[in-house]
A and B are shown apart, each in its own frame.
Chain A
Amino acid sequence: MTSSVGSTTGTAGTGELAGTLEATAAPPPRRPRGRGSALRRQNFATSIRNNFYFVLFVVPLQTALALFLAVLLNNKFLRGRSYFRTAFFFPSVTSSIATTLVFLFLFSGGGAVNQLLGYVGLHGPNWTADPRGVFHQALGAVGVDSTPGWARHEFFNLSWWDWFSGPSIAMIVIITLVVWTTSGTFMLMFLAGLQNINEEVLEASEVDGADAWQRFRLVTLPMLRPTLILVLTLGLISTWQVFDQIYLTGNNPATITPAYLSYNQSFQNSAFGIGAAIAFLLFALIILLAAVQRRLIGTGEDD
């Protein structure tokens, strides 16, 4: 059963399809490694690493930005808030392909972002062409230039040094793009949450002498907890599936993610078995995260 899953092309009759039918008839193995080449394992490990850093950066950033904008928009003393709210939410309704194209343009070597950086005297990198990890860059700035001996050992065909590379500079572009796109949606959720907060509690705390920051930290935030958990978990679940933006940056080890790798293996290399296995693992991960979400939030449903 298992040998056909690892092959790049089919074993019988008309090539790929025979292989894929066999692959889907039998339950896919839970662990695609141990089979196939070291390169496949390395690609898989790279995709997990990239997606991990992506999640690590995007979820806090988009949550923080969304909350900040919501608080800003909740301020009764600013006029025209609904126009600003529209402006902040607008990127969320556009297609991911269209916005990725714009950002790839903005972040091109001679593009707008580098021009802006130039105005403050910084020389921006060639963003999407730069596969170096951000953490490596930071360490390099303090003199750690090459892989220390202990970090040469490999886990899944990827050295520990490479595991700790941080997101690549190319990935930073995607991170920025996704935060820009999704903050608006979560901002609305926080707004709804903020508007549900009882005014009287806030007034009471002000009477008790709390200043604005204390009010926020000790009254508002705790009352936002359900929304916060919702935003965090929705963010976690969606960031692990990122695909559209990665498709446009191509088969670049600096940005591949499991979802893209699954697609690439199947539709570029005819290795449907590998692609299906990767997708299955991704699915398991997402179910886990959804279960965690349900546990933390509860279903909210009776009846």
Chain B
Amino acid sequence: MPARTYSPPWRRGVGYALLIFFAVVFIGPFLIQLATSFKTDADAANNSLSLIPHPATLSAWKRIFGFTENAGIPFGRWLTNSIIVATFITLGRVFLDSLAGYALARLRFPGRQAVFWSILAILAVPGAVLLIPRFLVLKELTLFNTYPGMILPIVADAAGIFLMRQFFVNIPTTMEEAARIDGAGVFRTYWSVILPVARPGLITLTILSFQGSWNEFQLFLVSTSDPKYNTLTTGLAKFSSGQLGAGTQYPLTLGAALLSTIPMAIVFFAFQRHFIGGQLAAAVKG
């Protein structure tokens, strides 16, 4: 039973004012981004705060979608690559992480704790430290400038394994015992009995994996040098840090950045619960 059932209006007013202020701060940049994509280069530079293009133009969008002569950006190429790698990484992660999580949660084998901690430790090495080793290893395996080279290094991740293990640990063992009594082997038990129950965890894992692979930058940066493998992240980054003023074509870069955010935004709004659930699970793990 809540202790207080009344809050003075002024307090609520202040509360709403603060909420709205921060909402503007957090969402404002996206609105500006949208507005800028419809402006001309000059208008974007001179009136960057204004949410109303003056004049409104589709030239940036035309360049993104390749409708103009002028070298735009190979957005289609970037999008395709992003979709390809994100799909394979997500599938891989869901498959491998859930298997690993189950094994670590349920199967008893000697050294299980040690394996668990070493997996976490190894996979938790930060990406920035791995830039050079990944490049060198990929080169040695002749996977440099290939799709497998972009996928394999991150096809399993520590957070995902941890997440799935948590879910499996929380499933009562009675279900498995029942299945065992009925004569099911380990894999069959896993497949038909456990996975359906761990569905929320799997969905969360799928969404977080998609987010991670869609936004991945560092691995793609070091695993490829050929522009035909650029994803949305590496393509935009290389385009904007280029020579001779390419970085100041704001409507173009901001429009492309916005487009690359939209798939994530859709996934986010559709599956909010799971995003937030994933974060809270991380908090509980802490």
Contact = CB atoms under 8 A, between A and B. Distances in A.
A116 B49 contact: yes
A115 B23 CA distance: 20
A282 interface: yes
A189 B45 contact: no
A259 B46 CA distance: 35
A85 B268 CA distance: 13
Contacts of A75: 7, 15
B284 to A, nearest CB: 7
Given A94-B264, A98-B261, A86 B272 contact: yes
Contacts of B49: 111-112, 115-116
B64 interface: no
Given A72-B18, A87-B22, A283-B129, 15 more contacts: A78-B12, A89-B275, A94-B215, A95-B217, A105-B32, A105-B36, A110-B46, A111-B49, A112-B49, A188-B283, A189-B280, A241-B128, A241-B129, A267-B135, A279-B130
Nearest to B211: A93
Contacts of A91: 26, 29
Given A84-B23, A250-B241, A297-B286, A106 B215 contact: no
Contacts of B247: 104
B27 interface: yes
Contacts of A52: none
Interface in B105-130: 124-130
Interface in B249-265: 250, 253-254, 257-258, 260-261, 264-265
Interface of B: 2-3, 7, 11-12, 15-16, 18-19, 22-23, 25-27, 29-30, 32-33, 36, 44-46, 48-49, 124-133, 135-136, 139, 169, 211, 214-215, 217-218, 221-222, 232-233, 236-237, 240-241, 247-248, 250, 253-254, 257-258, 260-261, 264-265, 268-269, 272, 275-276, 279-280, 282-286
A90 B128 contact: no
Given A90-B26, A286-B126, A98 B257 contact: yes
A289 to B, nearest CB: 11
Interface of A: 17, 20, 24, 69, 72-73, 75-78, 81, 84-91, 93-99, 101-106, 108, 110-112, 115-116, 180, 184-185, 188-189, 192-193, 199, 202-203, 206, 226-227, 230, 237, 241-244, 247-248, 250, 259, 262-263, 266-267, 272, 275-276, 279-280, 282-283, 286, 290, 297, 300, 303
Contacts of B26: 87-88, 90-91, 180, 184
Nearest to B15: A78
B166 to A, nearest CB: 10
Report which residue of A73, A90, A110, A241 has the largest number of chain B beta carbons within 10 angstroms of its beta carbon: A90
A106 B261 CA distance: 18
Nearest to B112: A303
B286 A227 contact: yes
A259 B218 CA distance: 11
Nearest to A177: B29
Contacts of A93: 211, 215, 264-265, 268, 275
B2 A94 contact: no
7 contacts: A93-B211, A95-B233, A188-B283, A247-B217, A266-B131, A276-B132, A303-B169
A90 B46 CA distance: 28
Given A78-B15, A243-B128, A244-B218, A189 B257 contact: no
Interface of A, secondary structure class, is: helix
A237 B126 CA distance: 9
B29 A106 contact: yes
Contact of A185 (B44, B132, B279): B279
B2 A76 contact: yes
A167 to B, nearest CB: 19
Contacts of B264: 93-95
A256 to B, nearest CB: 13
A248 B132 contact: no
Contact of B15 (A72, A105, A192): A72
B274 to A, nearest CB: 12
A203 B128 contact: no
B250 to A, nearest CB: 5
Contacts of B45: 108, 110
A279 B22 contact: no
List 5 A-B pairs, minimum CB-CB distance, nearest first.
A259-B128, A95-B215, A230-B286, A98-B257, A77-B7
B139 to A, nearest CB: 8
Contact of A192 (B124, B254, B284): B284
Contact of A87 (B23, B129, B236, B284): B23
B221 to A, nearest CB: 8
A111 B268 CA distance: 29
Given A94-B264, A102-B254, A241-B126, A87 B27 contact: yes
